[in-house]
Amino acid sequence: MNFAFSDDQTLLRNSARALLDEHCKPEHVRAMQEDARGYGEALWGEMAKLGWLGLPFPEQYGGAGLGLVELALLHEEMGRVAYPGPFLATVVLGGLPLLLGGSAAQKEKWLPAIASGRARLTAALQEDSLDWDPASIAATAERAGAGWTISGVKRFVPWAEAADAVLVPARTPEGVSLFLIDPKAAGVTLRPTIGMDLTTRWSEITLGGVAVGADALVGPAGGGGALLDSALRRAAVCASAEMLGTARRCLDMAVGYAKVREQFGQLIGTFQAIRHKCAEMLMEVENSHSAVYYAAWALEAGADDASVAASICKSYVSDAARRVCGEAIQVHGGIGFTWEYDLHLYFKRAKSLEVQFGDAEYHRELIAKHVASS
Amino acid sequence: MDLNHTPEDIAFRKQVRAWLEQNLPPAPLRSLEERKVWHRKLYEAGYLGMGWPKEYGGQGARPMEQAIVADEMARSGAPAPTNGLGLGIVGPTIVVHGNEWQKKRYLQKILTAEEMWCQLYSEPNSGSDLASLKTSAEDKGDHFVVNGQKIWTSGGKVADWGLLLARTDPKVAKHKGITCFLMPMRQPGVEVRPLKQMTGSSEFCEVFMTGARVEKENQIGRLGEGWGIANTTLGYERGGRSLARISGYSAQYNHLVNAARRLKRQGRPLIESPTVRQRLAKIWADLEVERYNALRVLTQLERGEHPGAGGSLTKLSYSEFEKRFMEVAQEILGAYGQLTDGAPPELALEIDTAVGDQGTWAYAFLWSRAGTIYAGSSEIQKNVIGERILGLPKETRADRAGATR
């Protein structure tokens, strides 16, 4: 039993931190907020070179063959700098379901393209109801000759504008099935929406009878629910890792500020009202670390409690990151509420991830199902 | 990172489990003598003082093996060994800070429970501010004479010896004038009175010392070094019971889920109420996070790293969790949760209390208030975390310089 990172894992984290500290400074994040595409190609190329984009794929697809713990490490570092870009969308939402359920041809086509930085993917997991349960999917796919015709409306699709392909769950007679569609295909309409977190891009996608071939189906017809479940669990853990990164950054900033800010002739860090708040923030950050890396390991190792661990992770960290980032603003006072100070970048990133892939309440109901049935 | 247990640890766990199945006392232990018999059985099996050096009766075992034994005991509902303070605090203090004579004289008898121990730290006016303690030890040439009062002394009633902090130099700054001693409790100058707590039970005592005698050979460490020794002492108990604590919580949690299946509000079982489900799920998530934390602490200990101030984070987290857990338990159980006697078996809680009585939800609820006070209150832990982990500046304190009286 060993809950510490291996030397290789530590090396990966250090190199990620070094690269992101250099290429993803707050100035970069702010520039990308104003940018039409919203992310930098140069940094994307660096990530491809370092093997991050193919991190969880087998070597035969140009990947590094690493696991979810390593993927979580990268996401934590990305959260720490509020990295703007379609990394999670491409590698986790697009790549992992293809890896888990795609055909040989689909994997051959997309995984090396993702790993080399040529292709960006995403998945359209939400509809009007905002229910994360795959059973709630209302979009439909009807057989049309050898292929399918897909119709429906998808909400909050991350980085759809940047994507070369979008995984779309739709209802077929066999149940929920997963399709890979080209967002530039006829019948697909993208409408960007703007959220308060400008480091993440969301779009609404309308599918007006989009015709796809038989080869667009990912996994068996009716097998989309299981694929989505496992993709959602992995995305929930990676999003939690990002939130953990935002929380650590906010805690660091709060502690740093408490060491230099003076009021009433003293450093505010000497006041227990501030110090105890910071101590509670650290406790929540460290507990989040435990929750994230336990769940990442459990999913990777196929542990008995992997599913519930993912829900424990997402529910705990969603609440903790919101609180820690919020309390960091409170420790800073007025300066923390300004646009020019960077805290809100992390606060908003945590907030946008909080509702993705199931919020705390959603996952607590999954936990309740687990404990009530065991 | 690999959270699978090694084949050796799995085999060891099986071995402990098999031993417990064969040796578990058939009925609850009621008397101290029965507890001592059970204690010696555990010792002879090699399950006590496992981390202590072999030459003093220990096993030189790894932290994981100690945690497994405690965990299996918790899972099987085995009674705790007696002499808890001796095993948890006094023994490790002597192992680290005692001289060779002291180790030979005292350690083995702690393990066999031939000599029972208590800890004489807190005083009525020195709780969180322990370093302000007033009990004095006066040098009389070949011995010390001790005067003062201690409080919150667990097991004081049955103790033969006490690990004592006393002031030997009132003229220096308060942290520098304290010395650590081993004091015989069975002497005319020592009077022990049980302290009845809000639980109705008396795990703790008050100890009055009037001209009590401590031989020079029973001074631990050097004069004026007691504060440093006390601070390391408080860190000893962090690892060994980490898994056992979680298994205890899990067993209680399962009882609670069963209760939520039986009890109804508005005609519906509580387990079907969305708000109850949310609360139960939150507690399970928090409980599992504590389990992950325990694995992290054990990893550190296995690598020979001392958690240091990190122990404050661990303690803050689990003691605050325990309070939240017990509050939710009371919400679910309603009036049943408040019964100290006569609860129907399916809604009762069977836990081994600190004094060896069968526990109740009411007792567990009340007792959860103690965890965020003893061994450094949550507020003290947050100060330690702020200063020693986060490096925040120390607060301005009126007592920073100068003597205690």
Residue A1 domain-assigned (yes or no) = no
Among all residues of B, which ones are annotated catalytic?
237
Residues B296, A290: C-beta atoms closer than 8 Å? yes
First to last CA, chain B: 53
Domain closes at, from A68, A98, A119? A119
Domain count, chain A: 3
Rg (CA), chain B: 22
- Using alpha carbons, select from B238, B110, B129, B215 the residue that is nearest to residue B174: B129
Task: Tell whether B6 lies on the interface with A, counting CB pairs under 8 A.
Answer: yes
| CATH code, domain with A186 | 2.40.110.10
Domain-wise residue ranges, chain B: 7-82, 117-222, 236-389
CA-based nearest distance A270→chain B, Å: 4
Do A201 and A295 lie in one domain? The reply is no
Is residue A216 helix, strand or coil? helix
Which of B280, B288, B390 minimises the CB distance to A282? B390
Residues of chain B with pLDDT > 70: what percent?
A: 95
Domain closes at, from A171, A194, A221? A221
In this prediction, residue B404 carries a pLDDT of 47
**Nearest 5 degrees, angle CA B363-CA B367-CA B373?**
170
Q: Report the relative pairing of strands A217-218 and A202-212 from DSSP bridges.
A: unpaired
**In which band, very low, low, confident or very high, does the pLDDT at B400 lie, cut at 50, 70 and 90?**
low
Q: Which residues of A touch B277 (CB under 8 A)?
A: 364-365, 368, 372
Please say if the pLDDT value at position B352 is more than 90.
no
**In which band, very low, low, confident or very high, does the pLDDT at B127 lie, cut at 50, 70 and 90?**
very high
pLDDT tens profile A33-87: 999 999 999 999 999 999 999 999 999 999 999 999 999 999 999 999 999 999 9
Residue A254 domain-assigned (yes or no) = yes
Do A275 and A369 lie in one domain? The reply is yes
d(CA A78, CA A68) in angstroms, rounded, equals 15
Is residue A42 helix, strand or coil? helix
Name the DSSP letter for residue A154: E
Do A253 and A214 lie in one domain? The reply is no
Lowest mean pLDDT among A168-177, B2-11, B130-139, B298-307: B298-307
Mean pLDDT of B357-361: 75
> Which sign, positive or negative, has the C-alpha torsion A128, A134, A137, A142?
positive
Domain range for A85 is 7-119
Which of B261, B317, B394 minimises the CB distance to A283? B317
Do A201 and A248 lie in one domain? The reply is no
In this prediction, residue A374 carries a pLDDT of 77
In this prediction, residue B235 carries a pLDDT of 61
Fold held by B7-82: Butyryl-Coa Dehydrogenase, subunit A; domain 1 (1.10.540)
Do A293 and A358 lie in one domain? The reply is yes
Compute the mean pLDDT over every residue in chain B, rounded to the nearest whole number. Answer: 92
Which of A266, A282, A367 minimises the CB distance to B396? A266
Which regions in chain A score pLDDT beneath 70? none
Residues 43-72 of B with CB under 8 A from A: 64
In this prediction, residue B405 carries a pLDDT of 43
Mean pLDDT of B328-353: 86
Do A265 and A357 lie in one domain? The reply is yes
Cβ neighbours of residue A70 closer than 8 Å, sequence gap 6 or more? A9, A12, A55, A56, A64
Residue A52 Rama label (left phi>0; alpha psi -120 to 50; beta): alpha
In this prediction, residue B242 carries a pLDDT of 85
In this prediction, residue B358 carries a pLDDT of 59
B236-389: CATH homologous superfamily?
Answer: Butyryl-CoA Dehydrogenase, subunit A, domain 3 (1.20.140.10)
B117-222: which CATH architecture?
Beta Barrel (2.40)
In this prediction, residue B239 carries a pLDDT of 66
| CATH code, domain with A38 | 1.10.540.10
Residues B292, A290: C-beta atoms closer than 8 Å? yes
Residue A2 domain-assigned (yes or no) = no
Residue A238 domain-assigned (yes or no) = yes
Please say if the pLDDT value at position B207 is more than 60.
yes
Token pair belonging to B368: 């959860």
d(CA A8, CA A4) in angstroms, rounded, equals 11
Do A93 and A132 lie in one domain? The reply is no
Domain closes at, from A71, A90, A119? A119
Please say if the pLDDT value at position B402 is more than 60.
no
Lowest mean pLDDT among A337-341, B157-161, B232-236, B388-392: B232-236
- Using alpha carbons, select from B236, B234, B243 the residue that is nearest to residue B66: B243
Name the DSSP letter for residue B359: P
Do A354 and A301 lie in one domain? The reply is yes
d(CA A179, CA A189) in angstroms, rounded, equals 17
pLDDT tens profile B71-105: 999 888 898 899 999 998 999 999 999 999 999 99
pLDDT tens profile B217-273: 999 999 999 999 988 776 655 567 888 899 899 999 999 999 999 999 999 999 999
Residues A371, B257: C-beta atoms closer than 8 Å? yes
ipTM passes above 0.90: yes
In this prediction, residue B345 carries a pLDDT of 83
Residues A368, B257: C-beta atoms closer than 8 Å? no
